[in-house]
Structure 1
Amino acid sequence: MSQAFQGSLFGASGPATLGPLSGAQRTELGQGAWIDVLPGWLDGSDELYEHLAAEVPWYAERRQMYDRVVAVPRLLCFYREHAPLPHPVLTEAREALSAHYAAELGEPFRTAGLCYYRDGQDSVAWHGDDLGRGRTEDTMVAILSVGAARHLALRPRGGGESVRYPLGHGDLIVMGGSCQRTWEHAIPKTARAVGPRISIQFRPRGVR
């Protein structure tokens, strides 16, 4: 059963507004991969969570898994290039990220993929966003999280020691450099009672 959403106690309940990106802290992962993390980039994240949960046209995917078709353990929605985003602050976020990372990325963020993790049993397995250009080129994926915190785990591709970041309530993580080729990331299942979380993934053209 899905846990009811509980708002943050730390200023996430006002109108949704973005802070400066200058406070993002970079960690070099090795092999040309890096991440920037900025807790609480979005203030008023509860308002955005509630709007997205109610207004986004969520859908469930089913995928072939060995000899059977199974439900993907999360809800999804994808906004292609030029599609209007479901809340004005997401348009602001994409523009702010494009401006801040212009010198490194060399192009704007263009699409937005949303994932709705309803409880601790919703998850995403180890993977890199390497469909398309991410398989051969350095790129960036920026993830804004609202709702309850869930751990995003990263590990070197092929296995190795992982690192985890609890992301929710307006937190931002940006994965850059070779991260999508040389590292993998996941949202693991958890037996703990956790509330729902929505992630918004901003990507450049041709990266999925």
Structure 2
Amino acid sequence: MTAHLQGSLFDQADEVRLGPLTGLARTTLGDGAWIDLLPAWLHGADALFEDLARTVPWRAERRTMYDHEVAVPRLLAHYGARDPLPHPVLDEARAALSAHYAAELGEPFTTAGLCFYRDGRDSVAWHGDRTGRGAHHDTMVAILSVGEPRDLALRPRRGGPSRRVPLGHGDLIVMGGSCQRTWEHAVPKTTKGVGPRISVQFRPHGVR
């Protein structure tokens, strides 16, 4: 898969490595939901983007909506608990997140889902990760973003104003507490001339 990435002026590192998680900042959303945000957790994020774009076996999927089959507007890949991840730094990221949130989460992150947003036409609609245990229990989903920034939008399910968090170039966001049940998130389409982005979503067992 080829895609043109406008590299970050602030991340020209050749070595792909993680920074510490000590800079995580928590925002309380309400209804028991929260997000933790850490900009530029991953150094060398542009190099990782290029590697993932080239080597991951991306799938173009189709889904049925309103009696019609439509193309999913992004490319996908999924790695189960026993699958080797496509880059060693992703193993390190999953282990670091599992250790950092061990007391709060009570279990490790096990799976990794990858989404490739090729341009502003690619998106994901409003949803919560409520397939499986996330429909009934507090859980966490950690997202590491590489490539050019795209907005992650969040809104309360019961209604109310939404907020947007731009993510790219190695940024980390963790959605926790009741976030998957009481809030929804999306990556909206945009007519702006945005470049490609890859998100890596780490989840515990049984959460999709």
What TM-score do you get using the length of structure 2 for normalisation? 0.97
Distance in 1 of aligned mates of 2:144 and 2:4:
21
SS of residue in 2 equivalent to 1:93? helix
Distance in 2 of aligned mates of 1:105 and 1:67:
39
Distance in 2 of aligned mates of 1:13 and 1:122:
28
More strand as a share of residues: 2
SS of residue in 1 equivalent to 2:59? coil
Distance 1:77 1:192, change over 3 A: same
Aligned equivalent of 1:59: 59
How far apart are residue 14 of structure 1 and its match? 2.0
1:102-156 CA-to-partner distances (Å, cap 9, x unmatched) read: 0100000000000000000000000000000000000000000000000000000
Mapped contact 1:75–1:116 kept (Cα < 8 A): yes
SS of residue in 2 equivalent to 1:122? coil
1:165-184 CA-to-partner distances (Å, cap 9, x unmatched) read: 00000000000000000000
SS of residue in 1 equivalent to 2:109? coil
How far apart are residue 13 of structure 1 and its match? 3.8
The amino acid that maps onto 2:152 is: L
Distance 1:85 1:3, change over 3 A: closer
Aligned equivalent of 1:129: 129
Determine whether 1:90 maps to 2:90.
yes
1:67-89 CA-to-partner distances (Å, cap 9, x unmatched) read: 21000000000001110000000
Aligned equivalent of 2:192: 192
Number of residue-to-residue matches in the alignment: 207
How far apart are residue 160 of structure 1 and its match? 1.8
Distance in 1 of aligned mates of 2:153 and 2:165:
6
Distance in 2 of aligned mates of 1:56 and 1:129:
23
Mapped contact 1:80–1:112 kept (Cα < 8 A): yes
Structure 1 residues without counterparts, runs of 5 or longer: none
How far apart are residue 18 of structure 1 and its match? 0.3
Distance in 2 of aligned mates of 1:109 and 1:72:
26
Range moving further from structure 2, 8-17 or 53-62? 8-17
Determine whether 1:168 maps to 2:149.
no
Distance in 2 of aligned mates of 1:77 and 1:88:
16
The amino acid that maps onto 1:76 is: L
Distance in 1 of aligned mates of 2:12 and 2:42:
8
Distance in 2 of aligned mates of 1:12 and 1:138:
38
How far apart are residue 15 of structure 1 and its match? 1.3
Mapped contact 1:12–1:169 kept (Cα < 8 A): no
Distance in 2 of aligned mates of 1:162 and 1:82:
36
Aligned pairs for 1:101-112 within 5 A: 101-112=101-112
The amino acid that maps onto 2:125 is: A
The alignment's C-alpha RMSD in Å is 1.1
The amino acid that maps onto 1:118 is: R
Distance in 2 of aligned mates of 1:124 and 1:200:
14
Aligned equivalent of 2:29: 29
Aligned equivalent of 1:154: 154
What TM-score do you get using the length of structure 1 for normalisation? 0.97
